[in-house]
Structures are given as C-alpha cells and as structure tokens.
Structure 1
C-alpha cells in the first residue's frame, strides 16, 4: 500500500533508505538516554527518600553524611552502598552518553538506513537499562561481573553504528 502511495506521488520515498514509513528513532533514543543518565539513575531521588539530600552541596551528600547516617541508624549500610552504586551508575551513563550520541548521530547523518539505526539504538538501550539495573541492584561481587558484559554490549552497539556509518562513507 505504501509503495502505491509513493507511485501515485501521494507520499515521497525516504531519500536515505528508499523506504516509506520507517521512523527515525534516533532522537527518541538520545532523549531517553539523557533522561536515563541525568534523571532516572540519579541518586538524588534515593537521597531525598532517605533524607540525606542537602541542596547546598548534593554531590558530596554520601561522602559527608552517609557513614554518619548509618551509625545513627537512619539508614543501613546496605542502603548506603546501593545509593553509592546508583551514583556510579549515573556517572557511567553520563560518560557513555557521548559515545552513543556520536555513534547514532554519525550513523544517521552518513545515511545508514533507519532500520539499522533503530535496531542498534534499541540494542544499546536494552543493554544500558540492564546495565543500570545490574549496577544498582546487584550486591554480590561475582554476580556483578555481568555488569561488565552489559557495558560491552552497549559499546558493541555503538561500534556497530560506527562501522555501518563507515561503510556508507566508503561506498
């Protein structure tokens, strides 16, 4: 049906893919990962929940007040450790965001077909969500090794986007 609309001139084919109707999800992936890194994985919510948030210098809340909160019985050591892992997961997601931004942007602007961009964007997203959950929730040292595999899975998606973009530029 879509090709009939294109043939009749009712709808233009996408010049980059010659496909009609395949949306470009790259902007949505970028927006999601910005909110994921800077908002959802932020330890700020947990610190507010446990009343350890200090607006005047929130980056140092856990360093300055964490152990004292454990000693006073306000929180448990396990809760403090989880908040520290949450801060680390957020920091890593912020750091990794730039790699994803570059990879998906380069792939999009070099003309990689939307199906490929959307596929690798989805793979990156799945890997990073699993990575964040593993980072925050897994306490066992040996089981936490899965986090490294998830980190590499996300990076592999970025490398695949870069490789596809390089192929377009060399064609």
Structure 2
C-alpha cells in the first residue's frame, strides 16, 4: 500500500503547478483577463443545460418529449400514483423546473449588463466582479430553490435572487456612468 501512496506523492510533486516558475506570473495575468464573454456562456450553460429539469426527469424515467413543458403539471400526480416517484420527488422536480425557467427569464438582463459594461469600456475588474457575483448568486438561488422545501429557509432563495438582480442594476448604472461621462460638458459620450 505504501508504494501506491509513494507513487501518488511523487506524481503530485512532479505536476505541482506551484513549483512552476511561471505559475505566479500566469495566475497574476489571469486575474486581469476579461471574463465577460465566458460568464455569458456560463450563465447560458447553467440555465439551459445544468438546470434543465428534463435531466432529473430522465433519471426517474418520466421524460415526455411530446409536451415536456406541461408534463409535470399534467402527469405529475399520475407518476406519484403509479409509484414511479414519491410526492417529495414530484415537489423537487417542480421546483427544479421553476428554477430552470427563472434562470432563463433572468439571462437577458445579465447578458445586457455584461454587454453594456463591455461597450462602455468598463474595467475588466468591474466586469469580472459583476459576473462573479451574479453567477454565484444565481447558483445559490438554484441550489436553494431545488433543495429547500422549508418555508422558514426559503428566504435565502429570495436574498440570492435579489443579489443577482441588484448586481445587474449596479452594472448597468456603472455602464451608464461611463457612457455618459462628460456629456454635460458638451463632450461626445463615445
């Protein structure tokens, strides 16, 4: 057994990025990258792929590809009565579906915020901060929406939802400030 641990330790020691002399420089450079476009892709993937409620329905063998948007409402109780899923699983699937649609509904404001910041010439740091806070808030919102059934804990979901929205409002206000800088003095905004 010690030979396996010795080999694992040797491997970790050989591929340790902290030993690379360029690691600190690369990490520092990565902090200054503009993650705006990637964050839009991440938000799209989260809302359309990760939160796709049909995935857990496939897991339970319930996916109805004929009319998937209405499947839980029309057939949910039938699936419970037939023993395919429990009432708790049905409630979770319905919350998952709601989280999916909520993420899709919120995607345009996020895309608009990031694009506005990009067009306004905002700093990469501001763009990355807005993107990071929004994506973190949306991930927390989705996790809380799907997993929390206790009404006394559901307020966490509301806080996460408002955090994401206020972050977008903040980003749009910052973009507007930069776009309109100097307009009052008669200078051209762009």
TM-score range, shorter chain: 0.7 to 0.9
Deviant stretches of 4+, over 4 Å: none
Name the structure 2 match of 1:138.
148
Name the structure 1 match of 2:113.
103
Name the structure 1 match of 2:159.
149
- Structure 1: distance between partners of 2:143 and 2:79: 25
Name the structure 2 match of 1:89.
99
Name the structure 2 match of 1:159.
169
Gapped regions of structure 1 (runs ≥ 5):
1-18
Q: Is contact 1:107-1:117 (8 Å) kept? A: yes
User: Within 5 Å, which residues of 2 pair with 1:38-49?
Assistant: 38-49=48-59
Q: Is contact 1:52-1:65 (8 Å) kept? A: no
Name the structure 2 match of 1:26.
36
Q: 1:61 to 1:110 in 2, by over 3 A?
A: same
- Structure 2: distance between partners of 1:50 and 1:121: 34
Q: 1:20 to 1:62 in 2, by over 3 A?
A: closer
The structural deviation recorded for 1:55 is: 1.3
Gapped regions of structure 2 (runs ≥ 5):
1-28, 182-190
Q: TM-score, structure 2 length as denominator?
A: 0.77
- Structure 1: distance between partners of 2:83 and 2:50: 27
User: Within 5 Å, which residues of 2 pair with 1:46-57?
Assistant: 46-57=56-67
RMSD of aligned Cα (Å): 1.5
Name the structure 2 match of 1:70.
80
Larger Rg: 2
- Structure 2: distance between partners of 1:129 and 1:58: 24
The structural deviation recorded for 1:22 is: 2.2
- Structure 2: distance between partners of 1:133 and 1:154: 14
Cα-to-partner distance string for 1:9-68 (whole Å, 9 max, x where unaligned): xxxxxxxxxx99821101110001101111111110111011110111111211222101
SS at 1:51 equivalent: coil
Q: TM-score, structure 1 length as denominator?
A: 0.86
Give the paired residue count: 153
SS at 1:54 equivalent: coil
SS at 1:152 equivalent: helix
